[in-house]
């Protein structure tokens, strides 16, 4: 069976590397993107099984990426976990409206994030 693929999108490389390290321990292949346009392009090209998506990104924010993917028949099935420093209720609501399946705020607990990833990949 092929390893599931997760696209990790954050402009902070240390966060991407930490998530990648933990997911690879769970036998999950990781794809990285550090800004919005690259994230959208990689999501469409690689068709990951799940996307971990920061909101505050250079070139295109996470809300727009989520909206573009969730309103496209070819990609709307991909679960999106929003990961962000934005904790306002309005931010959470906007995340849900743009199609995020989960919303986690930074700083986050890595075990909680891995649990959500496994839940959405049906591997728990």
pLDDT, one tens digit per residue, over 45-98 is: 999 999 999 999 999 999 999 999 999 999 999 999 999 886 677 777 777 788
> Was domain 5-119 assigned CATH 2.40.50.140?
no
Distances in whole angstroms, Cα of residue 33 to Cα of each of 1, 26, 43, 88: 25, 20, 9, 25
Domain map (residue ranges) of the chain: 5-119
Among 122, 78, 105, residue whose Cα is nearest residue 15: 105
Q: Is the bond preceding residue 106 a cis peptide, omega within 30 degrees?
A: no
Which residues are registered as beta bridge partners of 8? 32, 52
pLDDT for res 86: 67
Whole-model pTM?
0.93
> What tokens appear for 44 in the block?
């469409």
DSSP 64: H
């Amino acid at each position: 069976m092929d390893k599931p693929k997760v696209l990790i999108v954050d402009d902070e490389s240390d966060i991407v590397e930490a998530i990648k390290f933990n997911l690879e321990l769970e036998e999950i292949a990781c794809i990285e993107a550090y800004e919005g346009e690259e994230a959208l392009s990689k999501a469409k090209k690689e068709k990951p099984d799940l996307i971990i998506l920061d909101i505050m990104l250079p070139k295109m924010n996470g809300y727009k990426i989520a909206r573009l993917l969730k309103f496209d028949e070819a990609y709307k099935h991909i679960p999106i976990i929003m990961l962000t420093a934005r904790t306002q209720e309005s931010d959470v609501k906007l995340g849900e409206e743009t199609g995020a399946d989960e919303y986690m705020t930074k700083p986050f607990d890595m075990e909680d994030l891995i649990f959500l990833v496994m839940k959405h990949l049906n591997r728990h």
